[in-house]
């Protein structure tokens, strides 16, 4: 099964690396497809690559990424062991602007393919942009964070984007409770041992 997932992942990735469907392709250094474990029970979805990600071709490797790694570690997750990390758009929007609705829509088939291959039980939207592109243009992070929405067999939730937490540390308490809720959901679904949910 993992071999099949790997083949499908590599196939989708190779199409993505050649993609020129939207103007973001013109200015990218590298496509940032996503990385993590193909059997991960949980997928985190950010907005789009920043400067460091564009240079390295890997998601969340700049300052926000370092915070994300620490957030994941706090609940026993890591991109090496049990988490998948993707973005709404796979190419850096110039100056780190928000991707447009059209850019997001052009790129969405890649995220759909990633979800279809990994089949995570939980999808965590990181920030307002991921919330809008995944749950719809009217969805707001302030209302969705801390909630669980079941859609097509996936449990979807949201928390603040780590870059937003770097800008405004006063939200860290809420983000911490979101992380605890993700850990509790993983335990409830039998995806991590219950005892590790209590520690
Ligand atoms: N911000 C994102 O949304 N994604 C990345 O990969 C890096 C920073």
CATH code of the domain in which 107 resides: 3.40.470.10
Cα distance between residue 91 and residue 16, in whole Å: 10
The bridge status of strand 149-151 relative to strand 154-159 is antiparallel
Give pLDDT, residue 63: 96
> What is the Cα 15 distance to its own chain's centre?
20
Cα distance between residue 82 and residue 40, in whole Å: 5
Closest CA to 86 of 132, 40, 51: 40
Q: Would 196 be classed as within a structural domain?
A: no
Q: Please give all residues whose beta carbon lies within 6 A of any atom in ligand 1, as ranges.
A: 32, 46-50, 53, 59-60, 64-65, 87, 163
Kindly tell me if the per-residue pLDDT of 165 is higher than 50: yes
What is the band of 199 on the pLDDT scale with cuts at 50, 70, 90?
very low
Each residue's pLDDT tens digit, 12-44: 999 999 999 999 999 999 999 999 999 999 999
Q: Would 140 be classed as within a structural domain?
A: yes
Closest CA to 164 of 124, 122, 129: 129
Q: Would 199 be classed as within a structural domain?
A: no
Measured in angstroms, how far is the CA atom of residue 59 from the centroid of ligand 1?
A: 6
Torsion angle of C-alpha atoms 140, 145, 146, 149, degrees rounded to 10: 60
C-alpha separations of 30 from 18, 25, 91 in Å: 10, 9, 7
Q: Would 61 be classed as within a structural domain?
A: yes
Each residue's pLDDT tens digit, 126-135: 999 999 999 9
Give pLDDT, residue 197: 47
Asked if 20 and 31 count as a contact pair (C-beta separation under 8 A), the reply is: no
Measured in angstroms, how far is the CA atom of residue 125 from the centroid of ligand 1?
A: 12
Measured in angstroms, how far is the CA atom of residue 30 from the centroid of ligand 1?
A: 14
Measured in angstroms, how far is the CA atom of residue 162 from the centroid of ligand 1?
A: 9
Q: Would 195 be classed as within a structural domain?
A: no
Cα distance between residue 41 and residue 191, in whole Å: 7
Domain total of the chain: 1
Q: Which residues contact 192 (CB under 8 A, 6 or more apart)?
A: 41, 76, 183, 186
Residue 77: CB atoms within 10 A of its CB come to 25
Most informative mutation of 31, 45, 59, 158 for ligand 1 (most atoms within 8 A of CB): 59
Give pLDDT, residue 195: 59
Q: Would 166 be classed as within a structural domain?
A: yes
Cα distance between residue 83 and residue 76, in whole Å: 10
| Nearest atom of ligand 1 to the alpha carbon of 127 | 3
The bridge status of strand 35-36 relative to strand 83-87 is antiparallel
Q: Would 184 be classed as within a structural domain?
A: yes
Which structural domain range is residue 135 located in?
A: 2-189
| Nearest atom of ligand 1 to the alpha carbon of 58 | 6
Asked if 164 and 171 count as a contact pair (C-beta separation under 8 A), the reply is: yes
Q: Would 198 be classed as within a structural domain?
A: no
């Amino acid at each position: 099964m993992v071999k099949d997932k790997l083949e499908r992942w590599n196939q989708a990735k190779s199409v993505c690396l050649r993609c020129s469907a939207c103007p973001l392709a013109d200015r990218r250094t590298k496509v940032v497809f996503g990385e993590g474990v193909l059997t991960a029970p949980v997928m985190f979805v950010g907005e789009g690559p920043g400067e460091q990600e564009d240079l390295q071709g890997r998601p969340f490797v700049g300052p926000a990424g370092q915070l994300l790694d620490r957030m994941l570690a706090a609940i026993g997750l890591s991109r090496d062991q049990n988490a998948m990390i993707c973005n709404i758009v796979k190419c850096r929007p110039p100056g780190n602007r928000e991707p447009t609705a059209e850019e997001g829509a052009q790129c969405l088939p890649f995220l759909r393919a990633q979800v279809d291959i990994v089949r995570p039980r939980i999808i965590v939207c990181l920030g307002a942009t991921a919330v809008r592109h995944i749950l719809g243009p009217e969805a707001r992070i302030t209302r969705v964070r801390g909630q669980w929405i079941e859609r097509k067999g996936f449990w979807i939730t949201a928390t603040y984007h780590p870059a937003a937490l770097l800008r405004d540390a006063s939200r860290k308490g809420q983000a911490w409770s979101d992380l605890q809720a993700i850990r509790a959901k993983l335990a409830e679904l039998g995806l991590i041992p219950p005892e590790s949910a209590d520690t």
